[in-house]
Structure 1
Amino acid sequence: MTDLPGQGAALNVHGAGSDRPEKEVLRIGFMPLADCAPLVMASILGFDEKYGIKLALDRQQSWSGMRDRLTNGELDAAHALYGLLYGLQMGIGSAAREMAVLMNLNQNGQSIVLSRAIAAAGVQDGAGLAALMREQPRRYTFGHTFPTGNHAMWLCYWLAAAGIDPLAQTRLVTVPPSQMAVNLEAGHMDGFCAGEPWSRRAVMEASGALVASSGQVWPDHPGKALGARADFVARHPNACRALVAALLDTARWLDASTTNREAAAEVLASPAYVHADVELLRACLVPRRSDFPGLRFFGEGEATFPWLSDGMWFLTQQRRWGLLREDPDYLGVAARVNRVELYRDAAQLAGVDLPSAAMRSSTLMDGRVWDGSDPLAYAASFDIHQRDPQPLSA
């Protein structure tokens, strides 16, 4: 793809002296989703080589497989669910492992889809689903992609905001992202939450109706994170800094123009990456619907910063749904996992502005304000919650 903007412009600015990357070829796992774009385009455009590293991208088939390869050392870093990394840190469903969030890779970009049959019954939102469940009581089944991950948390939050107890009133199942639309069409599920392009595929193929974007649940929420094992970061700080700087350059490029987004869609359509129709990927990367916030990769550095409050929010929801038996040291865990100082060094290298604080304030769909100031009270404040341990998948 030699005609892409930026191709061949690399100038090695980080390849010698005491800050030389300890490892030049980095094995990076990614899932076939639209928000893997920063990793793919960093490699295609040579932003990695600019900082003295080379990304060896490794396409994964499931989040559980990604988790296992990341923790056993087959992967150096990964395009990972934010909640998956925090679940590993806390030992939810597996042995606890010290993890690191190096940066946020995107904001927004996931959706909640209901089946064609439910949409045909007139359901357009959570309130309509709650009414249908009262009128036609049964055990409704909804899919997410990983028990501690983003999609499970958005789905549970959306259901609970409508007065539906996701653990008591529904059956939650774990399904790989690319299999969501197929399972919905086959009638195995009543709905799901997944990342793009797989929710839009269900809509385009008329197997379901898109009723909420994750950006409507939490505007400009954290999406995927760049995750690594803490021991890898400790041994390779310069390589990790170079990796973050390269991805900051790429995120800035992706947000710079519609032309760049369209070029990325053409690349991602390849079987080596997302393996989806290019028009479907264009719809994800260059959205036409203003009511469904699109993927945000850079946002002048706001979308990439590893906000401590973002990590803390996932802990509050994991506590809310019984995945954590007791309240953790919310701020202490986030400060240990999210590598703000490493990010600041990389941002300086890439010429990216930094926010004035490591916390931010957001208003979620139910009007609740989350700013990280009182996580204990926030986690305990919900009317619908499950404090006793109970799995989020069947």
Structure 2
Amino acid sequence: MTEFSRRKFIITAGASAVGSVFLKGCLGNPPDSVTGTQTQQVAAVNISPEQAPETTRVKLGYVPIVESAPLIIAKEKGFFAKHGMTEVELSKQASWGAARDNVEIGAAGGGIDGGQWQMPMPHLISEGIITKGNAKIPMYLLAQLNTHGNGIAVASKWEGKGINLKLAQGEQIVSQLKSSGNLFKAAHTFPRVNQDFWIRYWLGAGGINPDGDINLMPVPSAQTVANMKTGTMDAFSTGDPWPYRIVKDKIGYMAALTAEIWKNHPEEYLAIRADWVDKNPKATKALLKGVMEAQQWLDNFDNREEAAKILAGRNYFNLPVEILTEPFQGKYEMGDGRTINDRSMAALYWKDEKGSVSYPYKSHDLWFFTESVRWGFLPPDTLTKAKAIIDKVNREDLWREAAKELGVAAADIPTSTSRGVETFFDGVKFDPENPAAYLKSLKIKKA
């Protein structure tokens, strides 16, 4: 019998959605010095030899936006430790470029083993498309971390002028600025991935070409906010808490939530270097089980206040907790005369109106590839190769195995790798069985 099969892990955690049992007579721990929250001891679990992880150590990178919440909660509430991963190190990344560089190096070289990613970064890194010297660093996509939690923020000087969800006057304003030689300036946090795609879709649906009508550039979130304060940035696309922060700071408003652009859309993902996963398949599933429990805990809205306090702590986001509290409940003070109060529009982590959030649908991977072709980021023949790349990178099979070991209800484990036809706010549909038809239907594109 291995050491892990004999060992019990006494962990700090709250009751999980799958039934952690509290130790009788436990008085709890003192308040955490970072978050000020009170945590409790839960009963240890015996880990069977068949599930005992090969290593207890992994280093995961994250960017301080709400997409990282499952990783942070899994560590802080003890869900990683519960499944034997007692030495999970979370490493805050200065930017998405830094995360890419650090996963190239790997934890052994002072970098990271994997972590939180915008899409399709794991595929692009695996194919050597965005790495130094085009080196191929194979990665495995393991789980979707969340849906929603992103927005398009616009400088307050445009409030009330029709730069809104449907861009009522956007095309006219952008055209006038272009004629005067003073292009509308917008930003995202990294090129050719989620937050670039969200703002591009929004602009394209409003008749604006992001590659010719405006100046669209990558800028770190914090710098974008600083630029908006000085009046040198008109709009940006990024994750909470940044869009909402500019509303609270009265320097802008939110033209759109990504939940309005594409309800229940795929957002960010957990992906790890393939060499680490291949060497440590049981540890990988232990990590997945920890993430799944954290996602279930997060989707209990009674836990959202505590979650906000943990994330806002100086070790993680280091910002006022109220910037997170209301958006976590689906309450958005949008500015421009709009408010939203709808939990289905909040960041969700385990389930949404269409079913599983955590499961990594291959059909969503295909949408990101199709958008990459749309904007000329990848050549048109990519769509003929996409399935092979997706099958190599997307390890939904490991997600399924981990879910079954965790005891997830069969109804919560998708039976297909496709979520089917997706519908966007402008009425456009994406059928993963016919991505070419989707491309053909789009008015503004390069491909």
TM-score category by the smaller chain? over 0.9
Q: Are residues 372 and 13 of structure 1, via their aligned partners in 2, closer, same or farther at CA, if it must alter by over 3 Å?
A: farther
Q: Are residues 92 and 139 of structure 1, via their aligned partners in 2, closer, same or farther at CA, if it must alter by over 3 Å?
A: farther
Q: Is the 8 A contact 2:161 2:169 kept in 1?
A: no
Distance, in Å, in 2 between the alignment partners of 1:5 and 1:259 is 15
Taking the TM superposition and a 5 Å limit, the aligned residue runs for 1:9-28 are 9=42, 11-14=44-47, 16-28=48-60
Distance, in Å, in 2 between the alignment partners of 1:113 and 1:100 is 32
Distance, in Å, in 1 between the alignment partners of 2:162 and 2:438 is 34
Distance, in Å, in 1 between the alignment partners of 2:40 and 2:94 is 29
Distance, in Å, in 1 between the alignment partners of 2:43 and 2:428 is 45
Distance, in Å, in 1 between the alignment partners of 2:89 and 2:377 is 34
| Partner in structure 2 of residue 29 of structure 1 | 61
The range that moved more, 58-67 or 80-89, is 80-89
Indicate whether 1:262 and 2:305 are aligned: yes
Residue 5 of structure 1 deviates from its aligned partner by 7.9
3-state SS, counterpart of residue 117 of structure 2: strand
Q: Which of 86, 89, 101 matches 2:123?
A: 86
Matching residue's letter, 1:236: N
Q: Is the 8 A contact 2:63 2:94 kept in 1?
A: yes
Distance, in Å, in 1 between the alignment partners of 2:41 and 2:277 is 29
Residue 178 of structure 1 deviates from its aligned partner by 2.7
The range that moved more, 200-209 or 86-95, is 86-95
What is the CA RMSD across the aligned residues, in angstroms? 2.0
Indicate whether 1:130 and 2:174 are aligned: no
Distance, in Å, in 2 between the alignment partners of 1:340 and 1:225 is 12
| Partner in structure 1 of residue 80 of structure 2 | 48
Q: What CA deviation, in whole Å up to 9, does each residue of 1:320-365 have, x standing for no partner?
A: 1111023322222222211111000111122222012110132112
The range that moved more, 135-144 or 187-196, is 135-144
Q: What CA deviation, in whole Å up to 9, does each residue of 1:105-124 have, x standing for no partner?
A: 00011000111112253433
Specify which structure has the higher proportion of helix. Answer: 1
Q: Is the 8 A contact 2:175 2:213 kept in 1?
A: no
Q: Is the 8 A contact 2:44 2:82 kept in 1?
A: yes
Residue 267 of structure 1 deviates from its aligned partner by 0.9
Q: Are residues 367 and 171 of structure 1, via their aligned partners in 2, closer, same or farther at CA, if it must alter by over 3 Å?
A: same
Q: Are residues 347 and 161 of structure 1, via their aligned partners in 2, closer, same or farther at CA, if it must alter by over 3 Å?
A: same
Taking the TM superposition and a 5 Å limit, the aligned residue runs for 1:323-362 are 323-328=377-382, 329-352=385-408, 353-360=412-419, 361-362=421-422
Indicate whether 1:195 and 2:239 are aligned: yes
| Partner in structure 1 of residue 341 of structure 2 | 290
Q: Is the 8 A contact 2:429 2:438 kept in 1?
A: no
| Partner in structure 2 of residue 366 of structure 1 | 426
Distance, in Å, in 1 between the alignment partners of 2:240 and 2:43 is 30
Q: Is the 8 A contact 1:92 1:323 kept in 2?
A: no
3-state SS, counterpart of residue 115 of structure 2: strand
Q: Which of 76, 91, 99 matches 1:58?
A: 91
Q: What CA deviation, in whole Å up to 9, does each residue of 1:194-225 have, x standing for no partner?
A: 00000000111111110111111211111110
| TM-score normalised to structure 1 length | 0.92
Distance, in Å, in 2 between the alignment partners of 1:66 and 1:345 is 28
| Partner in structure 2 of residue 213 of structure 1 | 257
Q: Is the 8 A contact 1:81 1:223 kept in 2?
A: yes
Q: Which of 358, 362, 386 matches 2:446?
A: 386
Q: Is the 8 A contact 1:12 1:52 kept in 2?
A: no
Q: What CA deviation, in whole Å up to 9, does each residue of 1:58-94 have, x standing for no partner?
A: 1111010011111210212211112322332343333
Q: Is the 8 A contact 1:245 1:347 kept in 2?
A: yes
Percent identity, please: 31
| Partner in structure 2 of residue 392 of structure 1 | none
Distance, in Å, in 2 between the alignment partners of 1:365 and 1:208 is 23
| Partner in structure 2 of residue 302 of structure 1 | 356
Distance, in Å, in 2 between the alignment partners of 1:6 and 1:346 is 26
3-state SS, counterpart of residue 296 of structure 2: helix
Matching residue's letter, 1:57: L
Q: Is the 8 A contact 2:162 2:168 kept in 1?
A: no
| TM-score normalised to structure 2 length | 0.82
Distance, in Å, in 2 between the alignment partners of 1:90 and 1:368 is 30
Matching residue's letter, 1:64: G
Taking the TM superposition and a 5 Å limit, the aligned residue runs for 1:138-287 are 138-256=182-300, 258-287=301-330
Indicate whether 1:117 and 2:161 are aligned: no
Give unmatched runs, 5+ long, in structure 1: 388-394
3-state SS, counterpart of residue 188 of structure 1: coil
Q: Is the 8 A contact 2:174 2:214 kept in 1?
A: no
Distance, in Å, in 2 between the alignment partners of 1:158 and 1:182 is 23
Q: Which of 78, 101, 105 matches 1:72?
A: 105
Q: What CA deviation, in whole Å up to 9, does each residue of 1:223-255 have, x standing for no partner?
A: 110011122211111111110111101110111
Distance, in Å, in 2 between the alignment partners of 1:87 and 1:381 is 26
Distance, in Å, in 2 between the alignment partners of 1:370 and 1:326 is 17
| Partner in structure 2 of residue 390 of structure 1 | none
Residue 6 of structure 1 deviates from its aligned partner by 7.1
Distance, in Å, in 2 between the alignment partners of 1:368 and 1:13 is 50
Residue 380 of structure 1 deviates from its aligned partner by 4.2
| Partner in structure 2 of residue 103 of structure 1 | 143
3-state SS, counterpart of residue 41 of structure 2: coil
| Partner in structure 1 of residue 23 of structure 2 | none
Q: What CA deviation, in whole Å up to 9, does each residue of 1:282-333 have, x standing for no partner?
A: 1221222236811001117601000001111110011111110233222222
